[in-house]
Amino acid sequence: MVIATQRMSLEDYFNYDDDTDTRYELEDGELLIMPPESDRNLRIASFLLVYFAQHGIPFYRLRIGTEIVVSGTKTTVRLPDLMVLTEELAIALQSATRSTVTIDMPPPQLIVEVVSPGKKNIDRDYRYKRSQYQARGIAEYWIVDPIEQRITVLSLVEGLYEEAIVEGDGAITSLMLSELTQRSPLTAAQVLQVTE
> Domain coordinates of the chain in residue numbers?
37-195
Q: In which band, very low, low, confident or very high, does the pLDDT at 36 lie, cut at 50, 70 and 90?
A: confident
Residues near 75 by beta carbon (within 8 Å), at least 6 away in sequence: 8, 9, 10, 13, 26, 28, 29, 69
* Separation between Cα atoms, residue 101 and residue 119, nearest integer Å: 27
Q: What are phi and psi of 24, to 5 degrees?
A: -135, 155
Q: What is the structure's pLDDT at 157?
A: 96
Q: What is the mean pLDDT of the chain?
A: 90
pLDDT at 3 over 80: no
Q: What are phi and psi of 79, to 5 degrees?
A: -125, 85
CB 84 within 8 A of CB 176: yes
Which CATH number applies to 37-195?
A: 3.90.1570.10
Taking residues 151-166, report their average pLDDT: 97
What confidence score (pLDDT) does residue 4 get?
A: 47
Digit-coded pLDDT (tens) for 103-134: 999 999 999 999 998 898 899 999 999 999 99
Mean pLDDT across the stretch 15-30?
Answer: 88
pTM to 2 decimal places: 0.90
